């Protein structure tokens, strides 16, 4: 798998010029909540800002975990 090349966040589209990942994180299977598997990616937007994004494998949905300059 590879990082995304485009990101839409808060109604605004962002082309991505660099990506790194995935780093897979799996929740503890022995807990009381359902297990969740996420692939995390660090991506750089065309304007230079960075985002930490992940895809939840069970649903295929993408999320932004954090932003930094």
| Cα–Cα distance, 29 to 10 (Å, whole number) | 33
Rg over alpha carbons for the chain, rounded to the nearest Å, is 13
**pLDDT averaged per 10 residues in sequence order, the chain, 69 residues:** 88 93 88 85 94 94 90
The per-residue pLDDT for 52 is: 96
Q: Half-sphere exposure (CA, 13 Å, Cβ side) for 57? A: 14
Question: Which pair of tokens denotes residue 32?
Answer: 């009381």
């Amino acid at each position: 798998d590879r990082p995304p090349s485009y990101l839409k966040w808060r109604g605004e589209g962002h082309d991505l010029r660099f990506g790194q990942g995935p780093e897979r994180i799996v929740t503890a299977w022995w807990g009381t909540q359902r297990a969740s598997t996420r692939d995390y990616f660090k991506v750089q937007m065309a304007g230079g800002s960075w985002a930490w994004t992940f895809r939840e494998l069970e649903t295929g949905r993408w999320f932004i975990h954090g932003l930094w300059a």
